[in-house]
Amino acid sequence: MEQKRTTPEFITELQPDEIFVFGSNLQGKHGGGAARVAYRNFGAVMGQGVGLQGQSYAIPTMQGGVETIRPYVDEFIAFAKDHPKLTFLVTRIGCGIAGFTDEEIAPLFAEAHGVENIVLPEGW
């Protein structure tokens, strides 16, 4: 059986059909962590805290507890399913500045395991 691809720890470049998925805040202030990388390198837009922007996709993680993130993850998974020609490289959203653990965030992506064009971090 072929092992599923995992997101690299550091993403410095993307292929034309790849999207950098990062944790953001609702205000779209992409000042640190993966959000800053998305803004500087992959077309994230200041002031846009949710969804596709350039070669990046923002999932808000700074507005409260884990359950406040779930609707945005569900929206992202639906978006990825609707865009099968794109490959979504999910970073460890929420596990940096937002302060969550992999054990708290990874279960939100359980449905993503069956989606061919979503690549998750190792262990998720």
Question: Is residue 11 within 8 Å of 47, Cβ to Cβ?
Answer: no
pLDDT in tens, 63-78: 999 999 999 999 999 9
C-alpha closest to that of 63 among 94, 35, 36, 90: 94
CATH of the domain at 38: 3.40.220
Residue 4 has pLDDT above 90, yes or no: no
Does a structural domain hold residue 66? yes
Quote the pLDDT of residue 58: 98
pLDDT in tens, 21-40: 999 999 999 999 999 999 99
Does a structural domain hold residue 87? yes
Stated as kind and residue range, the H or E segment containing 24 is: strand 18-24
pTM: 0.95
C-alpha closest to that of 57 among 113, 5, 117, 3: 117
Across 81-93, average pLDDT? 98
d(CA 92, CA 22): 8
Does a structural domain hold residue 17? yes
Residue 1 has pLDDT above 90, yes or no: no
Does a structural domain hold residue 1? no
Q: Tell me how many domains the chain contains.
A: 1
Binning pLDDT at 50, 70 and 90, where does residue 3 land?
A: low
Structural domain containing residue 80: 6-121
d(CA 74, CA 115): 12
Does a structural domain hold residue 105? yes
Does a structural domain hold residue 89? yes
Does a structural domain hold residue 57? yes
Residue 105 has pLDDT above 60, yes or no: yes
